[in-house]
Amino acid sequence: MAERRRKFWGWGFEDQQPPQAEVEQAGRAAREHLGFGPAEIEAPPRIEDIELPRPRVQPPASLAAICRSDPYERASHAYGRAYRDLVRAFRGRFDHPPDVVAHPGDEHELEQVLDWCADARAAAIPFGGGTSVVGGVEARVPQAAAVTIDLKRMNRVLEVDPASRAARIQAGATGPELEEQLKRHGLTLRHYPQSFELSTLGGWIATRAGGHFATLHTRIDDFVESVRAITPSGVWESLRVPGSGAGPSPDRLLLGSEGILGVITEAWVRVQEPPAFKESAAVTFEGFEDGAEAVRALAQSRLFPSNCRLLDPGEAALTGAAPGGKALL
């Protein structure tokens, strides 16, 4: 089956683009809400119209099968998904595309790619789901060639420890992929950042991602037992133990490292049984401050609901979630 292609210029998949009539309607609503005058609706670029500089480096024959330099691959790996990234990509501006995109399927292939990058003096950029909003995946290294290392082929749950409720998962697994595999064992990770659909476990660890179910287990740190990575000096792996008070936690070297110390390949993470029941409620408040007081009381009660989110009156009205002027919890 053909792989479902993501948009190279924005969020989501190519088959998710809404009809032009819906786009124009949304544009009119946005202009009216923000007070802008009439304007034409811009169309996204076509990959056939994108002009990129020639690649400055070519992979060796031994890696040619897992490397690509076509315009789609280079453009779709040029940016993260911050606002400035989306605007530039939507307007067909790709100033610093990677020269080559490598797709290793295991650690051995990854080591070969890193060795080649070292020999070619090329920058190596780890790439998970590409949802970064801090510019970490952009190849702004004009003094050297850049090789983006896409880990999405390394996307399997390798091992499950039901007694300890832990799982060893490859770094390239997206949120839906790892949840689908854990579901077969009656387990779930239950970490849901806003980028859940497209982001990866390795990306969550490299960025210390926070999730929506966040009144108790807020960040990916709360789930990580140990991390494994390929570094310029070889394999690095922290010891998996139930707990330790022996000095600083070595996992902290990789948590939030943004890929600068090595390429995260897998991790042991704590998992749990899915909840048996679910109950949701919404409460409106006269203002954001009143809602914030309620949130503080709820947090200090230590009842720990799975999710607790407060929308100010502006956002609540924009999304149609609450009557005008009301904050929504």
Which pLDDT band, with edges at 50, 70 and 90, does 170 fall under? very high
Q: What is the pLDDT of residues 224-264, one digit of tens each?
A: 999 999 998 899 999 998 777 888 888 888 999 998 999 99
Task: Please check whether residue 136 is in contact with residue 127, taking contact to mean a CB–CB distance below 8 angstroms.
Answer: no
Q: Residue 213 pLDDT more than 80?
A: no
Average pLDDT of the chain is 93
Range in 25-34, 97-106, 168-177, 283-292 with the lowest mean pLDDT: 25-34
Q: Residue 214 pLDDT more than 60?
A: yes
Q: What is the pLDDT of residues 19-72, one digit of tens each?
A: 889 998 988 888 888 899 888 888 899 999 999 999 999 999 999 999 999 999
The mean per-residue pLDDT over the stretch 293-297 comes to 96
Tell me whether strands 100-102 and 284-285 are parallel, antiparallel or unpaired.
Answer: unpaired
- Note the pLDDT of residue 9: 95
Please tell me the distance from the alpha carbon of residue 239 to that of residue 89, in angstroms, as a whole number. Answer: 41
Q: At residue 128, what are phi and psi to the nearest 5 degrees?
A: -100, -95
The mean per-residue pLDDT over the stretch 129-157 comes to 94
The mean per-residue pLDDT over the stretch 136-165 comes to 95
For the beta carbon of residue 175, count every other beta carbon within 10 angstroms. 21
Please tell me the distance from the alpha carbon of residue 257 to that of residue 206, in angstroms, as a whole number. Answer: 5
Q: What is the pLDDT of residues 19-32, one digit of tens each?
A: 889 998 988 888 88
Range in 94-103, 141-150, 220-229, 314-323 with the lowest mean pLDDT: 314-323
Which pLDDT band, with edges at 50, 70 and 90, does 181 fall under? very high
CA angle 213, 195, 317 (to 5 degrees): 75
Please tell me the distance from the alpha carbon of residue 150 to that of residue 103, in angstroms, as a whole number. Answer: 5
State which amino acid sits at residue 29.
A
- Note the pLDDT of residue 247: 84
CA-derived radius of gyration, the chain? 22
Q: Residue 108 contacts by C-beta under 8 Å, 6 or more apart in sequence?
A: none
Helix H or strand E segment including 237? strand 234-237
- Note the pLDDT of residue 166: 97
Q: What percent of the chain has pLDDT over 70?
A: 99
Which pLDDT band, with edges at 50, 70 and 90, does 88 fall under? very high
Q: Residue 131 pLDDT more than 50?
A: yes
Q: Residue 109 contacts by C-beta under 8 Å, 6 or more apart in sequence?
A: 63, 66
Q: Residue 178 pLDDT more than 50?
A: yes
First to last CA, the chain: 43
- Note the pLDDT of residue 2: 57
Q: Residue 1 pLDDT more than 60?
A: no
Q: Residue 3 pLDDT more than 90?
A: no
- Note the pLDDT of residue 52: 96
Task: Please check whether residue 8 is in contact with residue 48, taking contact to mean a CB–CB distance below 8 angstroms.
Answer: no
pTM beyond 0.85, yes or no: yes
Q: Residue 43 contacts by C-beta under 8 Å, 6 or more apart in sequence?
A: none
- Note the pLDDT of residue 206: 96
Q: Residue 89 pLDDT more than 60?
A: yes
